[in-house]
Each structure stands twice: as C-alpha cells, then as structure tokens.
Amino acid sequence: MAKERSLFLGLWKDKNADLLGLDIGSDTIKLIDIDCTQSPMRLNNYAILPLPPGSIEKNEVKDIRAVSQIIKQLYQQFNTKTKEIAIAIPRSAVILKNTTVNSRLSSSEIESRVWLEANQNFPELIGGLYLDYQILGPSSEDSAQLDLLMIACRKDQINPYIDILRQSDLVPNVVDVNSYALERALSICAVDYTNLETTALINLDLALSSLVVVHKNELIYAHDYSYDGHRLIEQTKSYLDAEVKDASAYHNMLKENLIPHLLHAMHFFYSSRPHVSIQTLFLSGECVRLPDIANVVEKEIGIPSVVANPFTHMTLASHLKREEVTRVSPMLMLCCGLALYGNLCQK
C-alpha cells in the first residue's frame, strides 16, 4: 500500500461512513456505489449524466444550481440511504510540501506545527486555506523525526463544490486529490500484474489528463496536464460515423491528436525518473472510449497498454450487465477510486 494513499483534505473525517464516489467533470457527472464489505467487492450501482454546457469551465463552477440538480437526478437512480460523498480536486490545485516533526509530539501538537509551517511558507494565503497533513513514517535521516507531507488548497476552489453537495442534500465527507483516487483504482486494475515493479495510469478526460506511476507499490509520480479531449473526439468522429471504417485513417488521427500528448507526459516522467521503466500503461477517462486506442498507444509509445477496468474482479448487482459495465469502466476510474476510499485507505 502506497504511503500517501490515505491522504485527503481532512475537513470531514467520518472514516467509518459508507461513501459514494462522485466525479464532477467539465462535461459529465458520475456517481458510483461500491459495497466494500463483501469479498469480492460488489458494484451496486453507477450513473452518468451530462452537464448543461457552461456549468463548469476550467474547474470553475459557473452554475451551482444546474450542477446540483444533475446530482440530485443521479442520486435518485440509487436505492441507497448513503448520503456521504467523496469528491476529488486536481493535484494541480493543491500545494504539497514535505517536512519533518519530532516523533514525540502529540497529534494536536503536530497539527499546530503544521499550521505554523504553513504560515511561514505562504502567509499571504493562510487565512484562505484548507490544510491537512499525512504522517509518512519515521525519517530515514533521523529516527527521532517523522516524515510528514503537508497539503493545502485554497478554500475558494473547494467551497463551490461543498455548496453543490449541500444543495443536493448530500454530505461532503471526503475531499480527495485526484492522483490518490486514481492510484487507488489502479491498484484494483493491477491485481493481475503483481509480477511487475512499475505500472502507470493515464486518465484522459475531456479537459485534463493525469499521469500516475506506481513503483514497488508506492506512488512515485503524479502530474496533471491540460488536454483538449473534445478535439480528439471531434477529429475521430468522421471515422466513428462512417459506414465503412478506414482503420488506417483512424489510427493516423489518433497518432496526430493523442500520441504527441502522451509522449510529452512520458518525457516529463522519465526526465525526473530516468532509471525507472514503466512496464504496463493503463488507460482510462472519457477519451478512452475510442475504439482500438490501447493498440495504437502501445505501438506508438512502446509500452504495453491496456484499457483500465477496475470492476473485473467485482461482482455486479443483479440489474447491471457485465458488457455495459466494461464499456463504461474507463470513464468511472476516478469515481471508483473515490468510492474505495474508506476501504483501501485504512489498510
């Protein structure tokens, strides 16, 4: 289990609560319910609805009422009493800082020290921040110290989403970071790849792509990139609509509109970790619904690539069809990682 997997913005810390995972994207909202108490886990329900155009732009909520109405519609499709919700914010929206504290400090003393450290590092922001921390373990340099990771986020980036949930009559229980939620879902996908030291996931949504890399069961790299997934979908539309499929032209469209972005992301990773080699790349997100995408990616970037499906080893509620769940599974990767928070984070 990666050391940072349990990290979250600890504003609502009922760790025993059942959680629904809610992914509020720029174009769609997704809600998922997973029963983590069963073995194997069971997918109880999921739902996906489009957002009215312009409701959310560049992670900024423009119409709280419209978004909350969509969430209410999603929730009404679920036969559950659970109202506690886990949501995610982009890693690019948070401030991360590693520090150390004396191991003899109490939890309240550590919290005070974290706020003092934050005030010293960004005093002009301190009044407008949510702040949390995660103890990573004893320091490798000094056994009397603990390694600690601080995480902060501006309140004005989170509060609109909290308002949305409350207007939807739901309870904001966990605010996670997208990279940790994606890593959590990746651990479920990679259970059949335990012989590999290094796996990675790139989540390709319509406005953002995220690369996470796990090495020896630890998250060693995570980065968000701006991405125009709408352009990719539009460019491939002619192929998808054609009665006679031109596979060669379609592959060229993917090569022109997707591969340069992936190569750019890989270059940034390898420039920071030149001695680590990704052995399998999982693909998820809105754009991965495109046919044959894994084969094209594998051929062009030279890494074995597969479409992520975190539900492969889960059982399904009776009203769900395996074929349809498999089709939408790449789109539900972030949502799944959020729903798994209470189960996997505490192990």
Q: Which residue has the higher pLDDT, 245 or 278?
A: 278
C-beta separation of 128 from 154 below 8 A: yes
Instruction: Tell which residue, 91, 97, 56, 88, has the closest CA to residue 224.
Output: 91
Instruction: Read off the tokens for 7.
Output: 């990290």
Domains of the chain, first to last: 20-91+157-344 (3.30.420.40), 94-155 (3.30.1490.300)
Rounded to whole angstroms, the Cα distance separating 301 from 125 reads 41
- Average of pLDDT values for 249-253? 89
- Average of pLDDT values for 67-77? 95
| pTM, full prediction | 0.90
Cβ neighbours of residue 205 closer than 8 Å, sequence gap 6 or more: 25, 26, 227, 229, 285, 286, 287
Maximum average pLDDT range among 114-123, 158-167, 233-242, 273-282: 273-282
C-beta separation of 61 from 100 below 8 A: no
DSSP letters spanning 253-272: HHHHHTHHHHHHHHHHHHHH
Q: Using one digit for the tens of pLDDT, what is the confidence trace for 183-199?
A: 999 999 999 998 999 99
Q: What is the mean pLDDT of the chain?
A: 89
Give me the pLDDT at residue 67, please. Answer: 94
Rounded to whole angstroms, the Cα distance separating 189 from 307 reads 10
By percentage, how much of the chain surpasses pLDDT 90? 59
Q: What angle do CA 112, 113, 115 make, to 5 degrees?
A: 65
User: Residue 321 carries which DSSP code?
Assistant: -
* C-alpha pair distances (Å), 30 with each of 65, 176, 282: 17, 16, 20
Taking residue 263's Cβ as centre, other Cβ atoms within 10 Å add up to 12
User: Could you give the maximum distance between any two Cα atoms of the chain, in Å?
Assistant: 70
Confidence of residue 97 (pLDDT cuts 50, 70, 90): confident
* C-alpha pair distances (Å), 117 with each of 61, 147, 153, 175, 210: 31, 14, 15, 22, 29
Rounded to whole angstroms, the Cα distance separating 266 from 165 reads 36
Give me the pLDDT at residue 343, please. Answer: 63
- Average of pLDDT values for 169-189? 93
- Average of pLDDT values for 27-50? 94
Lowest mean pLDDT among 121-125, 136-140, 156-160: 121-125
State which amino acid sits at residue 13. K
Give me the pLDDT at residue 17, please. Answer: 58
Rounded to whole angstroms, the Cα distance separating 11 from 327 reads 35
